[in-house]
Structure 1
Amino acid sequence: MDGHLSAEEIEKFHKDGYLLIEDFLTHAECDVLKDSCHRVIQDADFSQHPKVTFDTTDNKQATDDYFITSGDKVRFFFEESVFNADGQLNCPKEKSLNKIGHALHDLVPEFKKVTFSDKMKNLAKSLELKKPAVVQSMYIFKQPNIGGTVVPHKDSSFLYTEPMKLYGVWIALEDACADNGCLWFVPGSHHEGPTLRLVRKEKDEGVTTVLEGQPPGNKPEEYIITPVKKGGLVLIHGDVVHKSEQNHSDRSRNIYTFHLFDSGISKWSPLNWLQPTDPFTLLY
């Protein structure tokens, strides 16, 4: 797989708003990323990081300075249920995390290598992106039995560009199935913009965010389940509605994901929670 999309794949992506590409990474490449993530966790001193949990059903983590200033750092976000009453972890730290973000693509060599690989560049060139800039990256764990629900949303609600030229790259480092929280999409929902925006607000005491508008109201029968085998990649249009359910299995669902936008023809919104301290790194 060299990353180039066929005419049929490009047509399907534009029609549905998402595209599954099987075997984009080899199993060995996936394992390198998993091992690298494990090293990052083991090297981290969690006592130097606040206990910020991540839950997509509310907005509280996005009002926290630790989150808002994470765009050029590697930071750790926990599951809700992993702390005792005294604030100590009730499980091993590698089993406690919801995700790591948001600059793995710049700061961790193994993730940088995959993000800026020739095959990733070919993927962007297939979409005729003029000046793609990588804006954030995340390692998402979907821990066994406790990995939380990701509510229906459009990525453009949180990372808005004008015009909308935002793309998500979602890579399964383990099999993603119905029982461990794979993705679900509403095909064609990318033809309308977001009805909900997470908006950055400047306040005397610092920066915060507020949610404005209403979340997507699609009916359950509109969603299409999208299982992905290890090494598969899902290309996601910024305006397509998608979600994932809680992990009810005893298997994790580790993935690596990042977002890019075409900075050659689109503008990054100054209202986005994420604002660069330096220019975003260009894919090419």
Structure 2
Amino acid sequence: MAAGLTAEQQQAFARDGCVVVPGFLGADAVQRLRGRVAQLLAAFDPAGHPMTTFATGEADPMRHIGDRYFLESAAEARYFLEEDAVRGGRLAVEPGRAVNKIGHGLHVVDPAFRAVTHAERVRAIARDLGYRDPRVLQSMVICKQPGIGGAVPMHQDSTFLFTRPPSACGFWIALEDCTLLNGCLHFVPGSHRTAPIARRFVRAAARDGGGTEMVDIDPVLDSPLPACTAPGDAGSPADACPVPIEVAAGSLVLIHGQVLHRSSRNESPRSRWIYTFHIVEGSCDYDGRNWLQMPDGAGLTRL
């Protein structure tokens, strides 16, 4: 049986809501995935593309992208563009440099990413985190393009992948070195134990013209993951300073669905490629309000 997390890594995840697993992928595996990303970027054809960008919602947090290209991406490899790469409905940079992310169903349609997602060590880590029936969703490559890679504001993943009770966990794998210069992650340690999920990102009602929106919900803090029962006072997340996570290519960062985290704009000349996917507990309710839905009533993929 493959090794999962060490005792120290489990304790750090319980305490902080985020932990780095160095060397999760070896150099050869990283190069194979980088080669696959390069192929996907080279294959991007803007002709006929709806010019759907990845909007972070900073300007208007109550509204978000929500065209069919986005909403029907759960089992597809679709291209979403950097906001600064599109001007007047046209690309302002070469196609390969315009792509912000490719997803949201790489684990479904792409053998290279499916193999990484369903590796025995991933299943072992899920078991160590307390999952009994883990399901995979929202798998994607994020490119964070040089000079134009957009910032992602502070957020909690369970806002976007909501179960009742919350159960999301992100597997975030660096395919390039991630540094302060090219937009590495920042997170607020312990915020998974003090910051409830108080909003949901959902499909908007038809009367509102479809799309997506943020809606307020009764705050939820409990979770089936043992991390939320870790002892100690994490303090107020509003008073805490985000901590940067600089990691080498091949590292895995585990991100609790309730932990507050963000990434900065990439103004460097180097990209920041990563592959990420999420899991949720299959016994928790993943309802039809969530923006991401599998096609034709298919269930979320079993890990």
TM-score w.r.t. length of structure 1: 0.91
How do residues 169-248 of structure 1 correspond to structure 2 at under 5 angstroms? 169-191=171-193, 192-203=195-206, 207-213=210-216, 218-219=237-238, 221-248=240-267
How do residues 243-258 of structure 1 correspond to structure 2 at under 5 angstroms? 243-258=262-277
How do residues 1-284 of structure 1 correspond to structure 2 at under 5 angstroms? 2-56=2-56, 57=58, 58=60, 61-85=64-88, 87-191=89-193, 192-203=195-206, 207-213=210-216, 218-219=237-238, 221-263=240-282, 265-277=283-295, 278-283=298-303
Provide the residue aligned with 2:222 in structure 1.
Answer: none
Q: CA RMSD in A?
A: 2.0
Q: Secondary structure at the match of 2:266?
A: coil
Q: Is the 8 A contact 1:166 1:262 kept in 2?
A: yes
Q: Is the 8 A contact 1:172 1:254 kept in 2?
A: yes
Q: Following superposition, which runs of at least 4 residues in structure 1 exceed 6 angstroms of deviation?
A: none
- Cα distance in 1 between the residues matched to 2:8 and 2:241: 23
- C-alpha offsets along residues 183-209 of structure 1, whole Å, 9 cap, x if unaligned? 011111112322332122331586322
- Percent identical among aligned pairs is 39
Can you give the 5+ residue segments of structure 1 that lack an aligned partner in the other structure?
none
Cα deviation for residue 97 of structure 1 reads 0.8
- Cα distance in 2 between the residues matched to 1:145 and 1:159: 29
- Cα distance in 2 between the residues matched to 1:80 and 1:51: 10
- C-alpha offsets along residues 112-142 of structure 1, whole Å, 9 cap, x if unaligned? 1101111111111222311111011011011
- Cα distance in 1 between the residues matched to 2:10 and 2:36: 32
Letter in 2 for 1:26: G
- Cα distance in 2 between the residues matched to 1:46 and 1:94: 10
Cα deviation for residue 219 of structure 1 reads 4.5
- Cα distance in 1 between the residues matched to 2:44 and 2:64: 20
Q: 1:141 to 1:173 in 2, by over 3 A?
A: same
Q: Secondary structure at the match of 1:180?
A: coil
- Cα distance in 2 between the residues matched to 1:245 and 1:207: 30
Q: 1:3 to 1:269 in 2, by over 3 A?
A: farther
Can you give the 5+ residue segments of structure 2 that lack an aligned partner in the other structure?
218-235
Q: Is the 8 A contact 1:193 1:239 kept in 2?
A: yes
Cα deviation for residue 145 of structure 1 reads 1.2
Q: Secondary structure at the match of 2:137?
A: strand
Cα deviation for residue 163 of structure 1 reads 1.3
Letter in 2 for 1:130: R
- Cα distance in 2 between the residues matched to 1:66 and 1:186: 33
